[in-house]
Structure 1
């Protein structure tokens, strides 16, 4: 699996659809089997075993088995909305289609078999320059379907290191509908976990910020890059405590540094010595006043 590659037309990366985590894993495992040296047809049957999914995700076969049957049953009904031809030609068409035309769950074999839908074939094969590629292993350990989608969106712009995404567009692409209606919930339940998983499991690091139009957050800005190409961080110098900075500058609590040095007890810091002297001066003043 370490060498298996996922190829998708950019139009499919940006399509509007919702798949569960295990539906994503099934689809991606099958896409990774598409050969680049042979034309893909809608009659090609791809199989994925429970053990393959278990190995991919790093989980037990028993756990994978529990989820795969449900995922296979739902996968046939999953729709995808595509907003342009597979390789970006003009036309402005919007196409509603299905991922697959056939799904078989072979219970005794612990295996799923599927055929991609006819309309999906051009988005997975015969791709020109407008496609996105990444290693299947990059997303194998992710446990969030949103993390996988966000990772694909970043890979699409891998050479730029930054991607600005409209919040409304992202909601539509992920088919969130009425879920996470506030930007606060969107960030908490979708963006933050997805970014955390990308940072933990993938070859990319990612940071994100938000942009406002007026008082409303309208865009998210993702900055990202290859982990092995991050510049080495310079060792940070220990930060001085404010009191120590003040001591270096001249005085603490109004007591000159020279006085502190002269009257400090063995082992006392500038701050401790200055505080003691300050308190002693206050007490002496109070005693004199009384």
Structure 2
């Protein structure tokens, strides 16, 4: 792949509502780039091959993690869809489009590779672009460890020339970020566990510095506006890290938890269901409960940021 890897999407796709995990989003990124490098911009109906090695190198993960990610993304992406609204050309009425991402997708474990074909409706949204499209470098989202931070970064890039989004209603924002209707119903939870966490990751791992402003209807928060500035140097410094909102950051760490509590967390059925894609079925962690606990506890201690689907301490409540 070339040095400058650009992700380019029609604004209809940027503004669409969908829920995709990190492996699925990353697979789409690599497929868009592969389509460009195969010069399929005019007609991307051909089969695109995405190799685990590309996933491993781009997102700086271990080899077995890249294999597991592609394997889980194969099923996840086939089952997924996105929605957007526009004006129907013939009737002039508002139309809601519900579209699948791929028409077929295959995982070849021995080759460490995925083959996929986008659906016909997706192709013009990533290839035949009008003047209304959004473009950014893949490296800016490569280190983001939350599906919400990836989507929020994309939404802000749609307004890159201005540095401020329009007002987005709470319901619309939840749909665009792919937050499940049953998750984080209370506003303080939604802000802390979705928005604050996403903003924190964006500020520490991308080329922009962002913040949000909330808008109320009476006493109720009805929407948000996101402001951001592009910066030349996105690298974190010790001082910047220390200035982070500790209350927000700590909910995604294992600070203050002992090994017994960590054991309870990794044995939690919800934790196991959400992170079993991180280990290979043939590895010690995939073969026994003891192996799973040993591997996951060590990973939590080493880098808890990869476990960002919900605050770590939430798993102690089940």
Same fold (TM over 0.5): yes
Q: Is contact 1:2-1:135 (8 Å) kept?
A: no
Instruction: Spell out, residue by residue over 1:94-137, the C-alpha distance to the aligned partner (whole angstroms, 9 max, x if none).
Output: 11110000101011100111110111111111111100000111
Shift of 1:151: 0.4
Match of 1:74 in 2: 76
Q: What is the TM-score normalised by the length of structure 2?
A: 0.67
Does the 8 Å CA contact 2:67/2:109 hold for their aligned counterparts?
no
1:133 match: secondary structure: strand
Shift of 1:85: 7.0
Whole-angstrom distance in 2 between the partners of 1:58 and 1:39:
27
CA RMSD of aligned residues (A): 2.2
Aligned counterpart in structure 1 of residue 114 of structure 2, from 112, 128, 148 = 112
Partners of 1:204 and 1:224 within 8 A in 2 = yes
- Does residue 1:93 correspond to 2:103, yes or no? no
User: SS state of the match for residue 35, structure 2?
Assistant: coil
**Separation in 2 of the partners of 1:85 and 1:120?**
18
Q: Scaled by the length of structure 1, what TM-score is found?
A: 0.74
Question: Could you tell me which of 166, 169, 180 is aligned with 2:169?
Answer: 166
Secondary structure, counterpart of 1:23 in structure 2 = helix
Alignment match, 1:56: 58
Please say which structure displays the higher CA radius of gyration.
1
Q: How many residues align?
A: 228
- Quote the residue 2:221 is aligned against: 217
1:179 aligns with 2:180: no
Equivalences for residues 36-55 of structure 1 within 5 A: 39-41=41-43, 43-55=45-57
What's 1:32 paired with? Answer: 33
SS across alignment from 2:94: coil
Conserved? CA contact 1:42–1:117, under 8 Å = no
Answer yes or no: is the 8 Å Cα contact 1:99–1:117 preserved in 2.
yes
> What does the per-residue CA deviation read over 1:223-279, in whole Å, with 9 as the maximum and x for residues that have no partner?
10111299xxxxxxxxxxxxxxxxxxxxxxxxxxxxxxxxxxxxxxxxxxxxxxxxx
For residues 37-58 of structure 1, the C-alpha deviation after alignment (integer angstroms, 9 at most, x for no partner) is: 7544352211211111111111
- Equivalent runs, 1:1-290 vs 2, <5 Å: 2-35=3-36, 39-41=41-43, 43-84=45-86, 92-163=94-165, 164-176=167-179, 177-228=181-232
Gaps of 5+ in 1: 231-290
Change (3 A) 1:39 1:223: closer
1:82 deviation in Å? 2.1
Tell me, yes or no, if the aligned pair for 1:10 and 1:156 is still in contact at 8 Å.
yes
Deviation at 1:33, TM superposition (A): 2.5
Task: State how far apart, in whole Å, the 2-side matches of 1:85 and 1:130 are.
Answer: 15
